[in-house]
Amino acid sequence: ILNVEQSPQSLHVQEGDSTNFTCSFPSSNFYALHWYRWETAKSPEALFVMTLNGDEKKKGRISATLNTKEGYSYLYIKGSQPEDSATYLCAPRFETGANNLFFGTGTRLTVIP
Amino acid sequence: EAGVAQSPRYKIIEKRQSVAFWCNPISGHATLYWYQQILGQGPKLLIQFQNNGVVDDSQLPKDRFSAERLKGVDSTLKIQPAKLEDSAVYLCASSIRGLAGGIAYNEQFFGPGTRLTVL
């Protein structure tokens, strides 16, 4: 079983604040990293797929960085809005096995209006 | 394009009863996955199908869980008999091949899940 850790587990921020979360994973045999946003009672939605060390991706107010050598990724949200409230899941893939996703436990973000 | 459909959305049963979940993947997606997400944990892969063949079922508790994908399209996941610890959200996903940084991967699209409560 691969150890994928996300921190913090939960987070409350005020509307307008910027925030960030961490995903750490084993660096050996790394293949790709996926970030998903999962709102309550909805389907998990893909945010980013990153593969290369030093990758930076951006989608609106959300961005992510990747360090494959040390095995971590950061997700940043600038100017949080109530609609950003969700659980953010990271899921690395590794070269071994069936190339499946290994999900972390997620960071549950609540943005207070 | 329609997304991944799952039913039912919610199910409450008593322990030792049986339950079945249904998934209809996105049209044309050859690969289908079932995940179990227990409260406080990340989704865990139970089984992966490629068309109607099983690719990986190493984490499926085969004494009580079974899954099939008839004709390589829809899939059902069954639990018989259910235990208290089976209370979870069961997610279905399907995938197509994508590219990122020149590397091929299977991009997964998820359904809304079925929330199972076992009393």
Interface touch A49/B107, C-beta < 8 Å: yes
Residue in A with minimal Cα distance to B111:
A43
Q: What percent of chain A has pLDDT over 90?
A: 83
Any B CB within 8 A of A7 CB = no
Please name the member of A42, A46, A102 whose beta carbon is closest to the beta carbon of B107: A46
Any B CB within 8 A of A1 CB = no
CA distance B11 to chain A (A): 14
Q: Are B117 and B87 in contact (CB under 8 A)?
A: yes
Q: Are B4 and B24 in contact (CB under 8 A)?
A: yes
| Spatial distance between the Cα atoms of A63 and A47, rounded to a whole number of angstroms | 9
Interface touch A101/B45, C-beta < 8 Å: yes
CA distance B109 to chain A (A): 7
| Spatial distance between the Cα atoms of A4 and A90, rounded to a whole number of angstroms | 8
pLDDT above 90 (res A106):
yes
Q: What is the pLDDT of residues A58-100, one digit of tens each?
A: 999 999 999 999 999 999 999 999 999 999 999 999 876 556 8
Q: Output the pLDDT for position B71.
A: 84
Rounded mean pLDDT of chain B? Answer: 91
User: Which of A101, A16, A108, A32 lies closest to A64 in space, CA to CA?
Assistant: A32
CA-to-CA separations, A20 to A43, B13, B55, B115, in angstroms, rounded: 22, 39, 36, 29
Any B CB within 8 A of A50 CB = yes
Q: Output the pLDDT for position B83.
A: 97
Q: What is the pLDDT of residues B67-113, one digit of tens each?
A: 999 888 999 999 999 999 999 999 999 997 766 666 666 789 999 99
